Amino acid sequence: MAAPHRIDIHHHVVPPRWLAEEQERMAGTAVDFSTVAKWTPEKSLAAMDKNGVALAVTSISTTITRPTEPDRMRALARDCNEFSAQLVQDHRGRFGVFALLPLPHVDKCLEEIEYSSKTLRVDGFKLQTSYEDKWPGDPAFAPVFDELNRRKATVFFHPTVPASCARLLPGINAPLMEYPFDTTRAIASLLFSGTFARCPNVRFIFAHGGGTMPMLAHRIGHLVQWRKDLAAQLPNGIAPILRNLYFDVVSVTNPPAWSAVTKLMGTSQLLFGSDCPYVHTETTVSELAEMGLSASEIQAIERDNALKLLPGLPH
């Protein structure tokens, strides 16, 4: 068996406090959440060892947006981040951390950025694609992105289901379709608000191949041609900005989706992810091997691109 080499940048942990607060909601939306709820660090390590994953950068999947409870949100984020940092200490060389930030509470986010950076020494930060009726490009969130830009931070966006879209198709788990759609909304929000242009030092990662953005990029890009205000803001269109983003390959390792993603951005900005424990790690490993890539391309996606993006990871 080959030595573990893969770096998994989309790997979830299930801290006890998060589970206590989120279990009811997640059980009603996620597929087979009862299995996820039984997560342990040992199960993550077993999945990693089985699939040649040397290191996983962990994150919290989604959280309930509590716009009137800033202290509760900050306390949850702090608890999750300290749990994840302790995992790094307990299993040296096997884990990294994307620290949870408690948006929509800007002041609490700035506090958590400071604490997670200086005290916990995290590898980056985790946001979600929307917060009730606000998407990340909202002007209210600008101070958070300006601070992340000042720190030249890496930010991983995980999708969620906006409240307005939670029950559009009865009987179908909302994340099935809403996760990729909301990822597209988040990217568009950051694009047309000018956040991407204003924050060139932030390295942005989006889950699940950027959602539906690879398929819709051409259509969305036409908006710049139709509106003079956007044309002045994006004189070269949206393609150069999109090609600077990073996407993980979870759920797009199939021919139609893969074709769209790689025609938009090639393979240099793609990162291996598993979505463990929601998805079996071997799913992405086996499907990626069937995408007709060269050995060097697979090596880049599974490891090298992550090390260029996050050079501080143990390797």
Per-residue pLDDT of 237-253, as tens digits, reads 999 999 999 999 999 99
- Topology (CATH) of 6-309: TIM Barrel (3.20.20)
User: Would you state the pLDDT for residue 231?
Assistant: 86
The pLDDT of 120-134, averaged and rounded, is 97
HEC-encoded secondary structure of the chain: CCCCCEEEEEEECCCHHHHHHHHHHHHCCCCCHHHHCCCCHHHHHHHHHHCCEEEEEEECCCCCCCCCCHHHHHHHHHHHHHHHHHHHHHCCCCEEEEEECCCCCHHHHHHHHHHHHHHHCCCEEEEECCECCECCCCHHHHHHHHHHHHCCCEEEEECCCCHHHCCCCCCCCCHHHHHHHHHHHHHHHHHHCCHHHHCCCCEEEECHHHCCHHHHHHHHHHHHHHCHHHHHHCCCCCHHHHCCCEEECCCCCCHHHHHHHHHHHCCCCEECCCCECCCCHHHHHHHHCCCCCCHHHHHHHHHHHHHHHCCCCCC
18-27, 96-105, 107-116: segment of lowest average pLDDT: 18-27
pLDDT bracket for residue 2 (50, 70, 90):
low
- The answer to whether residue 176 scores a pLDDT higher than 60 is yes
The pLDDT of 287-307, averaged and rounded, is 97
pLDDT bracket for residue 166 (50, 70, 90):
confident
Per-residue pLDDT of 48-98, as tens digits, reads 999 999 999 999 999 999 999 999 999 999 999 999 999 999 999 999 999
- The answer to whether residue 29 scores a pLDDT higher than 90 is no
- The answer to whether residue 170 scores a pLDDT higher than 70 is yes
Mean pLDDT, the chain, whole residue set: 95
Per-residue pLDDT of 209-246, as tens digits, reads 999 999 999 999 999 888 988 888 888 999 999 999 99
